[in-house]
Structure 1
Amino acid sequence: MDQVRDLRLFIAAAHHGGFRGAARVTSVPASTVSEAVRRLEDQLGTRLMNRTTRSVALTVAGEELMNRIVPVLAGLDSALETVAGFGKGLRGTLRLNVPGAVTRTILPPIAADFLRAYPEVSLDITVDDGLVDILSRGADAGIRYGETLAQDAICVPIGPRSQRAATAASPDYLARHGTPGHPRDLLAHACLRTRFPGGAFTEWAFEKGGESLTINPSGPLSISTQAAEFAIATAISGRGIVATFEDWLRPAMDDGRLTPVLEDWWPSFEGPFLYYSSRRHMPPPLRAFVDFIKARPRDTRIS
């Protein structure tokens, strides 16, 4: 902790023009700041600041230390604030805007563990598959996949590192209509489609051996992405081929109600992200959730 204190005094001196400037903002004597910097220089075996009678300036080594240590200390402060929240009984409501895609297998175990760690924090979750401005919808943060994130959003990976899209049909359907051997064969099959709130259908994308293509099939059913379970149930009943997240189809494939279709063409994609608009003035429940997610081991499986 003494070294951390010395590092903080070094940063104060760099930010405020020298030892006297640091003394004004830290309320410690300028001589104490100077001694702290000297101790760091002795430990590191290199000069961090060039001193003259009129000014103090960072050396190249000092600049490098500044660039590396500032985010480290910021992370330390955040971690200490989070742990302090346990003792202070962190309270409040965290409002999240999330797509239906994360509400079935990804978010529930994370939410349960977070509520267990912070029993006096409430989660208010809105399920929304549209592209939204989280602030205009009254949310503190959102969860989305990478292709739909705003460029200026602050993003934290949440859930699995990678997922796969999958296609499947019932054994009865395949016995009656045949099994597709190539994605283009789907154009001759009954396909069960899901669509976003704006009306656009979800893509049926495939990739294999460097080849990638997108198919726009048709069929007897189209339904909102928020009711994807309806499409899965319809596929199980033998009415067509369904395409969605592999982990959503996996239970029915494992017990034989569905058979994988074109499995060697299933594409993988990056998992979802928690995103928010600013690190400044973060509500304490959001700060705690961000730190909780960062500390949580991520599932490396493709699912």
Structure 2
Amino acid sequence: MGPIDNALWDLAGHHYDESVSTLLGGYRHSLPTYASTTFVDDNRGLDSPGAFADYAEDYLERGYEGFKFHGHPDTRPEFDIAICEALDERVGGELDLMIDSSSLYETYANAVKVGRALDDLDFFWYEDPLYDGGVSGTVVRKLVSEFDTPILGLEHVRTGPYGTVNHLADEAADLVRASAHLDGGITGVMKTANAVEGFGLDVELLLGGPAHMHAMSALRNSSYFEHGLLHPESNWLLNQGYEGEPESIAEDGTMTVPDGPGLGVDIDWEFVEERLADHTAISA
């Protein structure tokens, strides 16, 4: 449903000759942005705590306001903690720091071990630590009560605003993920964001793309645009498929919302056709 809903918002913008941001009541054209890396890579690029610290320093110089890394895919909490410590030593106090554990920690004890380290290092948030993917409100509520570092959750729970409200009512999240690609499009994101705002809390959008730029432009309760996934030697798929570079960072480290009609971007159809798996024509 998400891609179809996004396409309909784009179509509506072209119909009214307005940007989706304008249709949503957007009030900001520049979005605070954090750099979001790929997972730990044992083979090249991001293979050590020092490599992540170097990479974070590079993005600090580019003007970004935050930096997040995705933990070791082989569930190595000690290694993740070492990266957190290296980041804090190099850019702590200058960048807001986050870790996305991507629901990889298989035991509650490991999740607690990392969370306690984050409290000591004053991290901005701790994202999806547990293997259950955030489904269990009971166990996430225990983590929320355990740490000072806010727990960002529900990225892997496809329940839209309904499950979000249940988790927040049970105090089983501090911050909430939403995605225009996976949670019912821009319409779904706005519903979830409004529900979260009712609890006085924040919603953070999952990764980038034009749909999230326009949605975030109209959200008061969203701290950062996620620019990723970044790696010194590769280009993440979500940053491709458009003409030019819609995800362009200004000199002050903010992401600029496209201001053309609809989503304000042009599709790279050659990119699409090279990856086309099937094509069905639907006529009225």
Interval of TM-score (by shorter of Structure 1 and Structure 2): under 0.3
TM-score, normalised to structure 1, is 0.20
TM-score, normalised by the number of residues in structure 2: 0.21
Larger Rg: 1
Q: Which has the higher strand share?
A: 1
